[in-house]
Amino acid sequence: MPSDIAIRVENLGKRYVIGREEKRAQTALGRAGQLAASPFTWLTSQMRGPSEDEVLWALRGVSFEVKRGEVVGIIGRNGAGKSTLLKILSRITEPTEGRAEIHGRVGSLLEVGTGMHPELTGRENIYLNGCILGMRKAEIDAKFDEIVDFSGIERFIDTPVKRYSSGMRVRLGFAIAAHLEPEILVVDEVLAVGDVEFQKRCLGKMKDVAGHGRTVLFVSHNMTAVKSLCGNGICLDDGEIVYADAADATVDAYLARTSPTGFSACRSFDDLPTLPFQMKEVYLADDHGVRRSSFTCDEPVNVVVEAVSREPVPAMYGYFTVGKASGEVVLASDSRDVLPNRFDSLQVGPSQHSLRLPARLLGPGEYVVSLGFASHSNKDGHLVHAPGGKMLRFSLADPNTCRGDKREGHLSTLIAWRPLAELDSEAEAGGD
């Protein structure tokens, strides 16, 4: 076994039987009692296996490796098998088939209160968890104040955990799991229970843990957190791995799988005669008018709107945003930014409008365009005259892949490196 492997999973599967308990080892006395109470039912249940409709494979055929020091994000829809996988790796449940090898002490936070005894105080639970991880009392003593300070529950540290709120239990649970120096840290979506400030502290702590060479498995529906924290990603769907690659690519693949129907490079709208102004069609195109959804960073992207105006709309304006597929808005614009606003004098009838995103503006990745039209002229303040919201999706690829590195950030503007003397001469001449 290579020394740099922290987790190895081979053909892992977990089966559940819906509607009745799976067969399991029972005492002789228990089986005799069932037989005596209902012999026919007992005999039938022993002879009949579960039907296909009763079987649910939460995981099946899952195989992957995680090296020491890697931070891996595990993503997927609800019910995809993420939590089941982490429970198997944390040895909370046994797999039905396959195997998982874990090399190192595992600290887990899978649900509120995981690993804590409700009758014991917070202080006692810290020492209990440390003992479970194989730590000596002196080692736990050295970490105790840091754990309490991070959790922010010093006032209640000698109160039984059963009296804690869910947020307090998560705070203490994460502080214990992250500070008692596990070699492998496993964290499920429970961080969503904490407040925003605590979530930021948790993400910072996980980065710190990873920076010290320990392994982190992180399940989250927060795609921004997955991209910023994780180096690699695994996407699960219906209990199987459907994509595994770098975290950015995995998140983009997951978002592409879950995009609504019609969420692409072109979108049309049904006729709504009650609207004074209506978009009829919106699409993306290159400078030759060819409709496309994939571009390189060296190409401009044109957003074209075909619309119809049925009556004048005073003080109307158009607005749009471009955002990452994971949710962050990276660019916003309004037709009033550059005067005159073309919609101030829009005539009744069909019209075409376009927006041009210059080449080398945005970095590589998946993007979402949102569009809408509104007016401030009515007494209610903000009236939307056409369907707004997320309209189109497109991707940008970096053509300079030969460099072998990965360009980070939302922008991809080309900036020249020049001798300082050139800048001085430009300043003296009053140049930009």
CA angle 425, 428, 431 (to 5 degrees): 80
68: Cα separation from own chain's centroid: 22
pLDDT, one tens digit per residue, over 335-358 is: 999 889 888 888 899 999 999 999
**Model pLDDT, residue 25:** 42
DSSP secondary-structure letter at 403?
G
**Model pLDDT, residue 32:** 59
Helix H or strand E encompassing 67: strand 55-67
DSSP secondary-structure letter at 378?
S
Confirm if 193 and 164 have CB atoms less than 8 A apart: no
**Model pLDDT, residue 177:** 77
The C-alpha torsion from 292 through 295 and 300 to 301, rounded to 10°, is: 40
Q: 0.85 cut: is pTM over it?
A: no
CA nearest neighbour of 114 among 103, 100, 125: 125
**Residue the block writes with tokens 């365009």:** 369
Confirm if 358 and 329 have CB atoms less than 8 A apart: no
125: Cα separation from own chain's centroid: 31
Tell which CATH architecture fits domain 5-257.
3-Layer(aba) Sandwich (3.40)
Residue 298 to residue 359: CA distance in whole angstroms = 5
Q: Kindly give the parts of the chain with pLDDT less than 50.
A: 1-2, 22-26, 261-263, 379-385, 401-404
Q: Which residues contact 38 (CB under 8 A, 6 or more apart)?
A: none
Pick the CATH number of 266-403 from 3.40.50.720, 2.70.160.11, 2.70.50.60, 3.30.450.20: 2.70.50.60
Give the tokens for residue 239.
Answer: 């209990």
**Residue the block writes with tokens 């005492």:** 27
Give the tokens for residue 404.
Answer: 């072998």
**Residue the block writes with tokens 């199987």:** 240
CA nearest neighbour of 399 among 412, 382, 411: 412
47 backbone dihedrals φ, ψ, rounded to 5°? -85, -30
CA nearest neighbour of 10 among 111, 126, 89: 89
**Model pLDDT, residue 262:** 41
**Model pLDDT, residue 24:** 44
Q: Return the number of other C-beta atoms located less than 10 Å from residue 44's C-beta.
A: 10
pLDDT, one tens digit per residue, over 232-291 is: 999 999 899 999 988 888 887 787 676 554 446 788 887 777 778 888 889 999 898 888
**Model pLDDT, residue 44:** 61
Rounded to whole angstroms, the maximal C-alpha distance in the chain is 103
**Model pLDDT, residue 344:** 83
Residue 432 to residue 136: CA distance in whole angstroms = 64
Amino acid 400 reads: N
Confirm if 100 and 7 have CB atoms less than 8 A apart: yes
Give the tokens for residue 381.
Answer: 């303040």
Amino acid 228 reads: S
Residue 149 to residue 142: CA distance in whole angstroms = 13
The number of C-alpha atoms within 13 Å of 404 and in the hemisphere containing its C-beta is: 0
DSSP bridge pairs for 383: 375
Confirm if 284 and 302 have CB atoms less than 8 A apart: yes
Q: Where are the domains of the chain?
A: 5-257, 266-403
**Model pLDDT, residue 1:** 45
Give the tokens for residue 78.
Answer: 């609800």
